[in-house]
Chains A and B, each alone.
Chain A
Amino acid sequence: MTSRLKTVENFYTLTIFILGIGVVYFIWPFISKMVMILVFSFLITTVLLPAVDTLERKINSRLFSTFFVMGGVLLLVFGFLFGFASGMFQQSSEFYFRLTEENYVNDLNSMYESALSSLPGVSSMGDGETPQLAERIQSFISGFIQQILTIAKSGVNFIFLTAIILVFTFILLVEYHHFRRTLVALVPNKYFELGVRIIHNIEMQMSRYLTGQFLAASSVAILSFMGLCILNLYGANLTMIVFISIIAGLSNLIPMVGPFVGMVPAVLIAIMNNLGNESALSHLIFNLVPSPFFIFDIILMFIIVQQIDNNFITPILVGESVGLHPMLVMISLFVGGTVVGPLGMLFAVPIAGVIKVISQEVVFLVRYAHLL
């Protein structure tokens, strides 16, 4: 009788589990955005929580300490974005000015014409082709407008999402300990101690991971700054190196893809600053390999920084923060990237860490189930 009851109970649990997965599968498209917002808010909350807690003890007001910490962080972020945008704008303006002033347009045009003449069939294009060309231009312009509208829509969406994330983060920070206690209060008495343990372990895992990542990102930023300064000593003529270093550090948060993203602004600025500079154009890396505008020097520098980070800094700073095998890290990155995209890659490792904590607690639960 008992074994029959056990079988019915197992069947019931399995049915509920399958039904649960089915429900999540069907409602996921509707809730995915909200889940992402909550995940982002939770991550930002985890990063800012120690600062808010510390300030709260000093000024005795949770609301004001959250307000000051978030205000400070927002000021820093906007200051960085404004500085970077204005720097890039100035850089682009100078670049445009030099392009027009120093006849690079003519150079580019003559290069384009020589390319056209060398391509078979293109030079034979007669006047009769003009209407087709006009159509093409028209379709190009309409496509361009379409793209601008899409970008504008994405921009509005992004601003809206950012605003919601900030509001959620603010609320989470103010009410964090209250929410945590409410969550614990929902756990049945039987699993109370275990529930608190799981929540605490997940918090610790996230906190350790984020602290490790922050330290690794800072060290990459510092190393990149040093590397760019050394390249400047050899005449790379790079500007905005503080911003480039910070971007390199931040993009390092996304494993594998991030480091390459960090190189892009550096390479762009090197091209913009050195266009027309004969010595930069004919620069040789190690006096052997041609590296026009120091492009390969920059790439090599970032690869070296990456290797130092991967082999020395990350193992020491991040080290056992998540405690996942490198193979598992790569699999989780692949799954995250395939299912969600770049954002998935950003969250893959911490989510894998959380799954690991829950699995460990399940093993613990199974071992002590008879005592609950």
Chain B
Amino acid sequence: MKALWENLFTHWYKQESPTKTVIKQIPVFHKLTNKQIREIENLVHKRRYKSGETIFKQHAPGEGMFIILSGKIEIFTEDKKGNKKTLVLLGSGEFFGELSLLDSDTRSATAIAHEDCLLLAFLRPDLQSLSKRSPETGNKILFNLAKIMSARLRKTSEEVTEANSESV
């Protein structure tokens, strides 16, 4: 009887998937309901990258953001002479490339897998179709993106003000 019960209602006993746990932590998906998170979970693409493999290159047109499920990603820029400057090393639970969700501008840096990685990709076409199918979810994501952008803008303004005051 117990076995039958557990078989019929397995989903009641199912633990939350690691993908869902990671998605919930990403600021872009804050304040989404469980149902909306499930929608995102069904939409994102799981990609495996080997160590040294390029995720995207600087100046290439961007299509969306990546969330790191496991592994490490190196973000760096290269000048015209080919001098490399590492910006950041990102780890599990972190994300990058979110600006491309809003515009189709080119990437400002290169991202390569520092070690074997498992990434979740959430691309602009996915966001567009989600906004069409479920405008409420789409709006929440866009609002979260706007909040991230405004926080960055504020930080940049403060840094510029500080730099100006120091130079004076």
CB contacts under 8 Å to A, within B46-90, are 46-47, 49, 53-57, 59-64
Smallest CB–CB gap between B132 and chain A, Å? 8
| A189 at the binding interface (Cβ < 8 Å) | yes
Number of interface residues of B (CB under 8 A): 26
Smallest CB–CB gap between B68 and chain A, Å? 15
Interface 9-mer from B16-24, B118-126, B139-147, B155-163: B118-126
On chain A, the residues within 8 Å of B64 by CB distance are: 193, 196
- Docked-complex contact A368 and B134, CB < 8 angstroms: no
- Docked-complex contact B60 and A185, CB < 8 angstroms: no
Given A196-B123, A200-B125, A371 and B42 touching (CB < 8 A)? no
| B154 at the binding interface (Cβ < 8 Å) | no
In the assembly, what is the distance between CA of A184 and CA of B42, in Å?
Answer: 13
- Docked-complex contact B61 and A192, CB < 8 angstroms: no
In the assembly, what is the distance between CA of A196 and CA of B61, in Å?
Answer: 13
| B109 at the binding interface (Cβ < 8 Å) | no
| B25 at the binding interface (Cβ < 8 Å) | no
A-B contact count (CB 8 A): 52
CB contacts under 8 Å to B, within A198-255, are 199-201, 203
- Docked-complex contact A193 and B123, CB < 8 angstroms: yes
- Docked-complex contact A193 and B45, CB < 8 angstroms: no
| A50 at the binding interface (Cβ < 8 Å) | yes
- Closest Cβ neighbor of B134 among chain A residues: A57
- Docked-complex contact A197 and B43, CB < 8 angstroms: no
The secondary-structure label for the interface of chain B is mixed
- Closest Cβ neighbor of A56 among chain B residues: B133
| A136 at the binding interface (Cβ < 8 Å) | no
- Closest Cβ neighbor of A371 among chain B residues: B60
The secondary-structure label for the interface of chain A is helix
Q: Mark B8-36, 1 if CB is under 8 A from A, else 0.
A: 00000000000000000000000000010
Smallest CB–CB gap between B70 and chain A, Å? 16
| B129 at the binding interface (Cβ < 8 Å) | yes
- Docked-complex contact A50 and B133, CB < 8 angstroms: yes
- Closest Cβ neighbor of B49 among chain A residues: A189
Other contacts beyond A189-B53, A193-B121: 16, CB < 8 A = A57-B134, A181-B45, A185-B45, A189-B49, A190-B54, A192-B45, A193-B56, A193-B61, A193-B63, A193-B123, A196-B125, A200-B128, A201-B125, A368-B60, A371-B57, A371-B60
- Closest Cβ neighbor of B55 among chain A residues: A189
In the assembly, what is the distance between CA of A201 and CA of B129, in Å?
Answer: 11
- Closest Cβ neighbor of A190 among chain B residues: B54
Smallest CB–CB gap between B103 and chain A, Å? 14
On chain B, the residues within 8 Å of A194 by CB distance are: 63
- Docked-complex contact A196 and B133, CB < 8 angstroms: no
Most buried by A among B54, B59, B123, B125: B125
On chain A, the residues within 8 Å of B35 by CB distance are: 60
On chain B, the residues within 8 Å of A371 by CB distance are: 57, 59-60
